[in-house]
């Protein structure tokens, strides 16, 4: 017999977290990769990664019960920046 299981992760204040990550990604020294001459049909991108803790709730549902628990774990967030833009959050990875 197959049982249905649903797992949901709810991050505390995701908008605030994204803004903070993009601010932390900004470098005070810009190496200038985004303004270098590059071959046609290519785009120079700068990357910046930030490690930070994330908190939230994990909810596990099955037909018989629901379990909810808090979590705090470490993530690495990576932002990219092109010649004419600010750093934007692109992806993340859990370190646990």
What is the C-alpha to C-alpha distance for residues 46 and 79, in angstroms, rounded to an integer?
Answer: 8
Answer whether residue 43 is part of any domain. Answer: yes
Answer whether residue 87 is part of any domain. Answer: yes
Answer whether residue 1 is part of any domain. Answer: no
Give the domain range for residue 20. Answer: 6-94
Answer whether residue 24 is part of any domain. Answer: yes
3-state secondary structure of 24: helix
> At 35, is the pLDDT very low, low, confident or very high (cuts 50, 70, 90)?
low
Convert the pLDDT of each residue in 48-72 to its tens digit. 888 888 999 999 998 889 999 999 9
Q: Residue 68's CB: how many other CB atoms inside 10 A?
A: 11
The pTM of the full predicted model, rounded to 2 decimals, is 0.64
Answer whether residue 70 is part of any domain. Answer: yes
Comparing CA positions, the residue from 49, 51, 44, 43 lying closest to residue 79 is 49
* Percentage of the chain exceeding pLDDT 90: 26
When divided into structural domains, the chain yields a total of: 1
């Amino acid at each position: 017999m197959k049982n249905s299981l649903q797992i949901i992760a709810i991050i505390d204040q995701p908008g605030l977290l994204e803004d903070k990550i993009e601010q932390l990604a900004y470098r005070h020294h810009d190496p200038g990769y985004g303004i270098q001459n590059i071959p046609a049909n290519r785009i120079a991108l700068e990357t910046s990664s930030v490690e930070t803790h994330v908190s939230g709730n994990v909810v596990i549902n099955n037909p018989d019960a629901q379990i909810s628990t808090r979590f705090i774990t470490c993530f690495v967030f990576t932002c990219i920046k092109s010649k004419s833009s600010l750093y934007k959050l692109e992806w993340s990875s859990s370190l646990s």
